Structure 1
Amino acid sequence: MSEPAATPAAAPQTWQRRSMGQRLLRYALGLFIMAAIVQAARTVEVIPEFLYDAPEQMGDMLRRMWPVDWSYFGQAVGSALLETLHMATLGTLLSLALALPLGVMVAGNVTPNRLLNFVARVLLVASRSVNSLVWALLFVAIFGPGPLAGMLAIALRSVGFVGKLVGEALEQAPRGPIEALQAAGATRFAQIWYGYWPHIKPSFWSVALLRWDINVRESGVLGLVGAGGIGVALNTAIDLFYWDRVALVLITIFAVVIAAEVLVLWVRKRVI
């Protein structure tokens, strides 16, 4: 009686983390990044003589900054610092007033109108696309130099940031309370106030505090383009080569940023 023919053994399977196409895509992406870095390095045009001389120039600048001219604080820095804080605060409040209606318009579940959604989204993207310094340059050309231009620049820069987060928070709100209000015959305003607002209120105030903290930092440099604040004192000291006063302004900005960070953390932990 003949024996049955032996079946051939199956080829062993090897596990691969990525397919051939994925590996080729990674290699292509790596080559693209390397080419972009090389092209960027060629465009920057680093001058070797200046690069070698940089440590010596930095040391000379630091020596000129010491001792710090503390008397300059009462002459110009103190009032400029208050102006900076006022700009940041008023700009943040104005941005909140503008961002809330835009956030409601951009949320599709609250405003089921695609045209309004599109218009609000374009406005929010336009606000985020333009840097605060560019906004400040535009408003300085319109209103002249001063804190008004800085406040408006901060407000328009912040609208896109706050409005986008408000819209996302509204879209993630649970439907249960809204459907209950609709079944009870509540108006659209009542649905927003009693249904959506309690859900987004903690995140809204957190975003408001975070944006104020960011605006305090940004308002410190708007004076470099004439938009008021402590940046004006910094620009004046640099133009006149008063490096001891430059050191004072930089120390003041650093201290204010740290104080704002501590204040925001304290408020978030104990109030929100």
Structure 2
Amino acid sequence: MSAGAALATPRRWQRFSPWKRLARLAFTLFAVAAFVASLRTIEVIPEFLYDAPDQMADLFGRMWPMDAGYIGPTLRALVETLHIATLGTLIAIAIAVPIGLLAARNITPSLPLNLFAKFVFVTSRSVNSLVWALLFVAVFGPGPLAGTLAIALRSVGFTGKLLAEALEESNRGSIEALQAAGAGRRATLLLGYWPQVKPAFWSIALFRWDINIRESAVLGLVGAGGIGVALDTALNLLYWDQVAVVLAAIFGVVILAEIVVTTVRAKVL
């Protein structure tokens, strides 16, 4: 074939190579097969789906009007929930900061210490807060102490991992300038790293506090204190008008926490 004929042959642009197209097809087939296997495994009963709208309408009918006399106990339990979330977040930060320093490779150039810190983070994040709460209820008994410790240990992995990543992404210019001027390790951390990671640190802390309010609202279902206890009591007694009060309180405090976090981030950070 001459050079002119080769240039005249139109080229066809393809977004993916043949191997990539094959891999995408294999992934799609695997996802479809997993979805079908999941539907067969969970054994959905069609009869329960057909009357679900009627059941939901009946449930909401039982919730209205709300029990105004249950507002006082609900608010007291809600205050306890806020205390659990706030104290648990503070304890988590106190634990996560030193472990985050161990996980940051540019601050702690020791592979065993880095792996140990990451193991702590993985352990914390892999166990759900309800599981932590069940464990601490068995150790300390039911009450807000178990919920506070569950929130704290659940939050260590999230907070410490993000803090370690923020430290590793710090600009080395100011750090090297401080070290060249003879600054010690403590001065380097406070004057070099801290000003760079401070916005990220407070954003992480506020975001985790917001998450902990949501999580602590259900810890009472396993006896770990907070508004979940009021919700569990109303559910067990089938007092749906009281359940509506608790759900409305949870929804309100979650919205309020979101507003507070957004306002603080906009004005302070």
Do structure 1's residue 187 and structure 2's residue 184 form an aligned pair?
yes
Distance 2:79 2:17 in 1: 60
Do the aligned partners of residues 116 and 7 (structure 1) sit closer, same or farther apart at CA in structure 2, a change above 3 Å counting?
closer
Matched, 1:105 2:113: no
CA-CA distance at 1:19 after TM superposition: 2.1
The one of 262, 266, 269 equivalent to 2:263 is 266
Mark the runs of 5 or more structure 2 residues left unpaired by the alignment: none
TM-superposed CA distance for 1:136, in Å, is 0.5
1:52 maps to 2:50: yes
**CA–CA distance in 2 between the matches of 1:7 and 1:18?**
27
Distance 1:19 1:239, change over 3 A: same
After superposition, the Cα gap between the structure-2 partners of 1:7 and 1:235, relative to the gap in structure 1 and judged at 3 Å, is closer
Cα separation, 1, equivalents of 2:105 and 2:61: 58
Partner of 1:176: 173
Partner of 1:3: none
Letter in 2 for 1:23: R
Q: Quick one: structure 1 residues 77 and 7, their matched pair in 2 at CA, closer, same or farther if it must change by over 3 Å?
A: closer
CA-based RMSD of the aligned residues comes to 1.2
SS of the residue corresponding to residue 119 of structure 1 reads helix
Name the aligned partner's letter for residue 30 of structure 1. Answer: T
Distance in 1 separating the partners of 2:15 and 2:147: 53
Deviation at 1:8, TM superposition (A): 7.2
Bigger Rg over Cα: 1
Amino acid at match of 2:207: L
- Aligned ranges 1:195-206 → 2 under 5 Å: 195-206=192-203
TM-score (normalised: structure 1): 0.95
Count the aligned residue pairs.
266
Whether 1:156 and 2:177 are equivalent positions in the alignment is no
Report the secondary structure of 1:77's partner residue.
helix
Tell whether 2:211 aligns with 1:219. no
List alignment gaps of at least 5 residues for structure 1.
Answer: 1-5
Moved more, 199-208 or 19-28: 19-28
Matches within 5 A, 1:246-257: 246-257=243-254
Q: Of 123, 127, 142, which aligns to 2:124?
A: 127
Tell me which of 59, 62, 75 is aligned to 2:60: 62
The residue aligned with 1:22 is 20
